[in-house]
Structures are given as structure tokens and as C-alpha cells.
Amino acid sequence: MHKLCCLLLGLIGHAALANDIDALVLADLTQEEQVKSSDMAWFVEGALGQARLQNGSSEQATQRLSLDLRLDKSVVADWRVVLTDRLDLAWQGWQGPVSKINTLKEAYLSWQPQPDLAVDLGRINTRYGVAQGYNPSDFFRNGALRSVVSVAPASLRENRQGAVMLRGQKLWSGGAITTILAPKLAEQASHQSFSPDWGASNPQTRYLLALSQQGPASLAGQVLLFGDADAEPQFGFNLSGLLNDATVLYSELTVGKEPALTYRMSSGFTWTFAYKLSLSLEYQYDGGAKSAAEWQALQQGPISDYWRYRGEVQSRQALNTQRATMLYASWPDLLPSLELAALWRHDLIDSSDMAWFEARYHFKALDLAAQWQINRGDPLSVYGALPQRQSGMLLAKYYF
């Protein structure tokens, strides 16, 4: 704890001497990630937290130290190598054992013989879907999370391991086609600290075909075909467009036999005010999750079955019950360098809630942030069953 406090103070003290670096940005949902102007970027993040447990009678101190590295380097003409890795060290209490989880997010070789053609081979964190809080067409999300450091949707999509694959992309004016083949590498996921976890990222052979096209009137659409060796093909559809200058509508849908025909959907809109405040409201449906009657039966059944189901859902990054809503707010410039974000998730089956809030101040090479989260609901509800009733955290992130 003393070492972590010293680290946080050291980061603050050296902020004025830091050099400018390029910010890490997420990839476009249907296109290859932009090449950074710097070959390598990395940061260290320290966090101090305090949580009140659901029983209300005890509190829990948490600490975390994270290292995150990204390398994107051209090696010869038309060839580049990409490596992204994250190490999370976490412990509870003042003398608790340290949990070490390393996530090899990406490690691949990219060949671009022409401006409109690219071929990639290796571990790639490929992300699909236009929705913000639940992405049924993000087919490679299953088993991707090894360490959850934030409930923010962007963090969940960025801080995860990719799948080993061969990927080809062909671009044209306003559109693209992507083909992916991801082979089976192992059967069982690994919980070892520094495991590449092939069993989680590549548990069976999978394929994906994605066709994206910009349409008229600011419409953008995407059609996906996904399959694996153990299941029927799944079809995915993404559509987004401008309702007016301030409002974006989006919808995401998947359908396939499991063995019955199953639909999943996430639809909503984002409204941006003139002063840069953005509000997103989203409705989420998962036909493969528990209905109200099934959820109640699971809650009343053996507790081991309940937690087994919760673990499977978490691994798939799916919904516990069939229907939910989400509200997300982002205000990047409330004051110069001050950014606010808030998230509210509500389960429409058991009426439980989760709320999260973050205030973040950006210095030249340092971010300081405060986060707060509350989980509310009946015992064994989606959010009431989580161990922490509410928690707060202070964070410092230093970019090198």
C-alpha cells in the first residue's frame, strides 16, 4: 500500500515534465485500426478503492497497479508488427495476496501490399457492433475478458484478449469486406497469471464474413455471417444513421438456430448537445437468456446452478435475463481538461440496477480520476447478487 501511494504521488509530481504522446484510440467498428504516429506507447495506472459489501456490515479496501503497452511498428515496406499487452496487479486489504493477470491483447503481423488491401495473422482484438452497452454481433467477445478493471463499455471492449486468426480486408469507396478464420488451439481456458489463454480465445474453429457499406442519407450498414464447428451459422446486422445534426440512431441484430431460432438485439440513439454533452439510451434483448419464469426458477434452485449460469454469462459478455436498458452520458469538456461520464444499467426482469460515475482530469501526460459505483437489487437479482453494494476508487494514469 505504501509503495502504491508513493507511486501515485510520484506520477502527480512528474506530470509537468512529461512529453506529449499520442493518445491511444479505439478502432473503427468496421475498419482496421489507425496506425499511430509513435511506434510505442505505454502507461502505468494506480488505483486505490474502498467498497461496502452487500451485507452492509463490512468494508473492503482494494488496490491495483496496471501496466499497458502498445507497439505498432513498420518492419519493412508494407509490413508492420502490432503488440498490445496489459498486466494487472490487484490485492485486497493492507496485507492481502497479490493477484497477477496478464492479458496478451494483440500480437500480429500485418501485410498491406496495396492501400485498399490488408492481410493480418496472429492474435487480433476484432470488435463489431454499433451499440454501446451490449453488442450481440461482437462474435469474438466470448472468453475475451481475463481482468475487468472498469464497467465502462469502452474499457470492456479495449482491455480484452483477441483471438488468433487469419484476417483479410478489401476496401473500396464507402465500403469494405472482411474475412476471418480463427482455428481451434485449445479446449480449456486457463487461469494462470501469464497464460496466453488459447483455450478461451480459440476454443473451436470459427469463421466470419463481414460486408460494410456506406449508404445514402448518412446511413451505414453491415451484414455479418459467423459460424463455428459446433453450432449453426449466425447472421448479424448493424445499421446506423443521422436523424438530425444532433441525433444518431443505431440498431444491432443477430439471428441463428441454438437449436431454436434465437434473436438478440440492441437498439438506441445518441443525442449530442451543442455544449458537447452526449446522452445514449439503449434497449437490449437476448433471446438466449433467461425469461422471467426461468430466472425465478434459477434463483429458487440449487445455488451452484445459479452461480454456474452467472459465470457462463460473464464469460460470453451476454445478458443474464432477456431484457435490459442502459443510459450512458459523456461530457468531455465540462471544464477545460475535465471529463465526466456516467452509466446506468437496469434489468427489466428483476428491476435491479447498477450506476457508475467517473470524473477525469487530463494533464499533459497524466490523468487523475475518481469513480463511484452502486449496485442495487434483491438478493440473487442481476445486480443485487454482486458482492459490493457500493464502491469508490481514485486513479492516476501516467503516459510515457
Per-residue pLDDT of the chain (400 residues; tens, 9 = 90+): 444 444 444 433 433 333 322 322 233 333 344 434 579 999 999 999 999 998 777 888 999 999 999 999 999 999 999 999 999 999 987 667 899 999 999 999 999 999 999 999 999 999 999 999 999 999 999 999 999 999 999 999 999 999 999 999 999 999 999 999 999 999 999 999 999 999 999 999 999 999 999 998 789 999 999 999 888 999 999 999 999 999 999 999 999 999 999 999 999 999 999 999 999 999 999 999 999 999 999 999 999 999 999 999 999 999 999 999 999 999 998 999 999 999 999 999 999 999 999 999 999 999 999 999 999 999 999 999 999 999 999 999 999 9
> In residues, how long is the chain?
400
CB 360 within 8 A of CB 367: yes
Count of beta carbons in the 10 Å neighbourhood of residue 149: 18
**How far, in Å, CA of 325 to CA of 363, rounded?**
34
pLDDT at 209: 99
**How far, in Å, CA of 222 to CA of 214, rounded?**
9
**How far, in Å, CA of 43 to CA of 301, rounded?**
46
b vs e for 116-131, b when ≥16 Cβ sit within 10 Å of the residue's Cβ? Answer: eebebebbbbbbbbbb
Q: Nearest to residue 321, comparing CAs of 356, 357, 355, 345?
A: 345
Q: Residue 252 corresponds to which cell in the numbers above?
A: 444491432
- For the chain, where are the alpha helices, taking DSSP H only? 2-13, 153-158, 198-201, 292-300, 303-316
Count of beta carbons in the 10 Å neighbourhood of residue 210: 22
Return the amino acid letter for 240.
Answer: S
Taking CA atoms, 226 is separated from 127, 140, 265, 305, in Å, by 13, 10, 16, 29
pLDDT at 152: 96
Q: Residue 108 corresponds to which cell in the numbers above?
A: 500480429
pTM of this prediction?
Answer: 0.87
- Find cell 481514485 and name the residue: 394
**How far, in Å, CA of 294 to CA of 321, rounded?**
9
